[in-house]
Every structure is written in structure tokens, then in C-alpha cells.
Amino acid sequence: MGKLLLVINCFILAIGHCGGPLMMRLYFIHGGKRVWFSSWLETGGWPIILFPIACAYLHRSRIQPSAENKLFLMKPRLFIAAAVIGILTGVDDYIYAYGVARLPVSTVALIIASQLVFTAVFAFVLVKQKFTSYSINAVFLLTMGAGVLGLNTSSDRPKNESYREYILGFVMTVGAAALYGFILPLVELTYRKAKQEISYGLVLEIQAVMCLFATAFSTIGMLVNNDFKVIPKEAREFVLGETKYYTIAIMSAIVWQCFYLGVIGIIFCSSSLVSGIVIAVLLPVTEILAVIFYKESFHAEKGVALALSLWGFLSYFCGEIKQSKINKPALHLLQSEMPSVPNCQISV
């Protein structure tokens, strides 16, 4: 059950991680200019998560009817932690959206690959992540992939953009990679220090609270920046038309929820490092989609980066399989499936 949930979360993350940046860039290349609105869309779809939370509640009520069964399981300690992570996520969303507004998606993807190094370092500091030769090899190969891609970025500055804007976009995206590389292990630390049993139902609640606070943060940015007033005018002038403008906005909000749910679901099933590795593996897929849909250039370097990232991914999972074979005789099955979150439970 643990492994199935992990695979499902990887799939959900793949939808969010490939679709999210593409939808965001679609908005910018066809006349969208509001960075705060774009970052708002990254988390503004959080009410959707209330639906699975309600389903989880109904499921609990059916299997163990009791007066103590509540719709929300979260205790104040966990609520505060999720709110703090949510505000950090709001900051991260803004600087990430700033990068996507200025750079081609393929360049953003290559810079975001450096996130894995930040995740590995912060996971070591915050949750004492243990490294095996396989995970070190995977981090090395995936980072090499990003480096190889970096060899060919100077040629991809959009024509209508100044050098200064391009560099600022670059710096902001590195900042987003560093901050998100910190947020992932912080989520893992939150699970560990929660002082309540972490179930998948609770993971959904954490997602809702995180996104609620991130959205509140972006809403303040939108208000200060007058975005709410400008949006109807921007929609009317959007190159693809008003209907498509709102469709893109709604689809973006939904797809980004998949990204966040996938990320924190993988941390629940495994660890923040695995979540970082899955993100890194998906980056070349996003790149290839950007090449196909937005006709961004595809150099030999992108092919090499793709091969390196697949190699890194395979290396990591071979190591995991070997490790679980070693652990199996000694440990209870559930423990071997859930090595890093001692108080997590596969229940809703």
C-alpha cells in the first residue's frame, strides 16, 4: 500500500510539475504580465483539496463511526507549522513566477535542477538524511545534467528582454531553487515533530493550510500591485482571447495543486530527498514539452542532460531496491516501506 501511494504521488507530481510551468509560461508569452497573479495561481486552487478531505472524513466515519471523529484532524502545533511553511511557499512562488516571466521554461527547468543540491544539504542539516553511494551518485548525475544544460543558456535570452531583466530572472530562479530546497526538508521535519500521528488525510489538511497561507500572502501582493483591477483589462487584451485567459488561469490553479500534493505526498511516503530527486528527474520532461509546445530550441546538451537524469534516477532506485532487500528480513514490512517518517500511517 505504501509503495502504491508513492507511485500515485509521483504520478500526481508529474502532472503538476510538467503542466504547471508550461501553463504559467503560456500566460506570460501571450500577453500576461502580472507576476503576483501568476504566483497566486500556484496555490489559489487550494479549495479543491477540501473535497478529498471530506471524502477521507466520510470514509473514517464509515469504518469507525464515533462521536470523536472530526472533519479536521490537525492540532494547533501542526497548524502553525503548516502556516509558516505556507508563507515561505508564498514567497517562493513569487520569486519562481518572476523567473518564469523572464526566462524560457527550458532555462527555468535547468536552473531549478540545482534545487536538488539545496534539498540534499538542508535534508542533511534538518532531518539528518543519511546518504548511500547510490543517492550521492544520483545527486551528482542530476546536478551534472543541470550543468550540461547550463552550457547553452547564453543564446536563449528572449529578444524583447534586456540583459538586466534576464539576469534578474536568473537570480530569482536560483533563489526559488534554494528556498524550495529548504522547504522540502522543512515539511519532513514538520511530519516528524508533529506530536500527532501523520496519516494521508492529515497530509491533505497540511496541503490545504499551506496553500491557504501562501494564497493569502499572494493576495496581499496582488492588492498592493493593483492586480485585481487590471485583470479584466488584461483578459480582454490577451492574445488568445478572454475565454482562454480565464481557462488558462483555472487550469493553472488546478494543475499546480497536483504539484504541491505530489511533493508533500512523496515526503510522507518516503523523504524530502526522494521528492527532490523525482522533481529533478521530471525537469528534462518539462524541457522537452517546452521544446514541443513553445518551439524552444533543443540542443545536444538537452539530450545529454536527459540521459544523465534518467541514469541518476535509475541509480537511485536500484539503490533503494537493494536497501529494501537488505532491510526486509530484519524489519516489519511497514517500517521498510516507510523508512524516514516514523509516525506516518497509511490511513485516511
Ligand X SMILES: Nc1ncnc2[nH]cnc12
Residues that bind ligand X (CB under 6 A): 42, 92-93, 96, 112, 115, 176-177, 180, 259
The distance of closest approach from Cβ of residue 79 to ligand X in the complex, given in angstroms and rounded to an integer, is: 22
Give the residue with the Cβ less far from ligand X, 93 or 337: 93
Query: Side-chain half-sphere of 120: how many Cα atoms within 13 Å?
Result: 19
Residues in contact with 120: Cβ distance below 8 Å, sequence separation at least 6, in sequence order: 129, 131, 139, 273, 276
Give the residue with the Cβ less far from ligand X, 96 or 191: 96
The distance of closest approach from Cβ of residue 203 to ligand X in the complex, given in angstroms and rounded to an integer, is: 18
The distance of closest approach from Cβ of residue 331 to ligand X in the complex, given in angstroms and rounded to an integer, is: 34
Angle at 247 between CA 241 and CA 253, to 5 degrees: 140
Strand partners, 345: 199
The distance of closest approach from Cβ of residue 117 to ligand X in the complex, given in angstroms and rounded to an integer, is: 13
Q: Which of 192, 234, 148 is nearest to 343 (CA)?
A: 192
Give the residue with the Cβ less far from ligand X, 259 or 313: 259
41-to-90, 264, 265 alpha-carbon distances in Å: 11, 18, 20
The distance of closest approach from Cβ of residue 96 to ligand X in the complex, given in angstroms and rounded to an integer, is: 3
The distance of closest approach from Cβ of residue 43 to ligand X in the complex, given in angstroms and rounded to an integer, is: 9
Give the residue with the Cβ less far from ligand X, 93 or 188: 93
Give the residue with the Cβ less far from ligand X, 112 or 308: 112
Strand partners, 99: none
Q: How far out from the chain centre does Cα 302 lie?
A: 22
User: What distance in Å separates the CA atoms of residue 263 and residue 89, rounded to the nearest whole number?
Assistant: 12
User: What distance in Å separates the CA atoms of residue 174 and residue 168, rounded to the nearest whole number?
Assistant: 10
The distance of closest approach from Cβ of residue 49 to ligand X in the complex, given in angstroms and rounded to an integer, is: 17
Strand partners, 344: 198
The distance of closest approach from Cβ of residue 32 to ligand X in the complex, given in angstroms and rounded to an integer, is: 17
Element (H, E) at 49: none
Query: Side-chain half-sphere of 80: how many Cα atoms within 13 Å?
Result: 5
Three-state SS for 69?
A: coil
Give the residue with the Cβ less far from ligand X, 84 or 235: 84
Give the residue with the Cβ less far from ligand X, 177 or 194: 177
Give the residue with the Cβ less far from ligand X, 199 or 252: 252
Cα-flanking dihedrals φ and ψ of residue 219, to 5°? -65, -40
Q: How far out from the chain centre does Cα 50 lie?
A: 19
